[in-house]
Every structure is written in structure tokens, then in C-alpha cells.
Amino acid sequence: MNSNGALEKILHSFERYYNVSTEGVAAPFSAEAIFNSHSEQYFLVKAAKTADIDSNEFVFFYYNGEIAGANSAMTAGKIEELSNIAWERGLSRVTPYYGHRNSDVTLIILSDKIDDESFKKIKKLNLYKSYKFGLYGWSSFRALAYETSTGRAATNRRGSDLKKLVASL
């Protein structure tokens, strides 16, 4: 399976709970998905609100068939560049306040070839930010790199559950 077909399958799995966008997405990403959740807790009546909780996730999708060309391998430098861009764009959308719980940023990279150094780089990615010592919530970074030609996948520590996405590809 090529990386474009894998991207379509993964985007389809996100469509149920996320707002997926493939048009108007800023380079270098091919697609974005946004998840927003808002809940409130009350004590007996709505006027006695005890909690206001917001949770968000911003997912950025990249595959090398669109930008870098199908024959070029993903490098560790490119992984670092993509993770920094995704982290900055995700954090720019965060509005921390007393009811903000978390806003996570996820990067999913699909490529026909990924070198071994890039797999090591993905496993070491660790980005985290708390707002006002956690009172206004936090942001964490999850990452997945999937090599479509061999089926190899690597994630960082927080993104280990993302391997389920590519297990069926």
C-alpha cells in the first residue's frame, strides 16, 4: 500500500469523532483533524455549576508523496522540523483558562521509506507544557511514524496507542 492510500484509510477512521480537513491546510501538512469536548458539572440545579471542562486535540497528518516526492526517505531532521511545526501550530490554538483540562497535539507521518535514525528520533520526542502549574490545564505531544512499504511503525511514549491505527493497514 502506498502512503496516499494509507492516509485515506487513517483519515476515514478519524472522521467519526474529529472534524477532518484536507483542503486549506497550511503546508507542509496534508490534512488536519480537530477534536473538541466540553462538559459541565452541576450541583442539583444548573445555576450551581461546579465544573466547566474543555478538552481538545489537534492532529496533523503528513505524507511524503505530496511534498518530498515518493522516492525520498524520511530523515531525522525532517522529523524534528515537522514535530516543531505541529507543536507550535497546536499551541497557538490553545486558550488556557480555569476550565481548560488539556489540549493535545498529535503528529502522524506516513512515508514509503523512513530511515532507522528517524525511528529513533520519533521514540525520543517528548514535548509537554503546563499552564499555571497545571491549574489551567496542560498540553502534550503524541507522534507516530509509519513506513508504508514495510509496515514498520514507531511512536513516542505518549503516542503508544496510535499504533492501533496502523495495525490494520
Number of domains in the chain: 1
Closest CA to 151 of 134, 126, 169: 169
Whether the bond into 28 is cis, omega within 30 of 0:
yes
Closest CA to 98 of 47, 58, 51, 57: 51
Residue 107 belongs to domain spanning: 3-167
If you ran DSSP here, which 8-state letter would residue 103 be given? E
Q: Which of 45-54, 80-89, 114-123 has the lowest mean pLDDT?
A: 45-54
Q: Kindly report the average pLDDT of the chain as a whole number.
A: 89
Residue 41 has pLDDT above 70, yes or no: yes
Cell readout for 43 is: 450541583
Q: Over the stretch 85-128, which tens digit does the pLDDT of each residue have?
A: 999 999 999 999 988 999 999 999 999 899 999 999 999 999 99
pLDDT of residue 66: 46
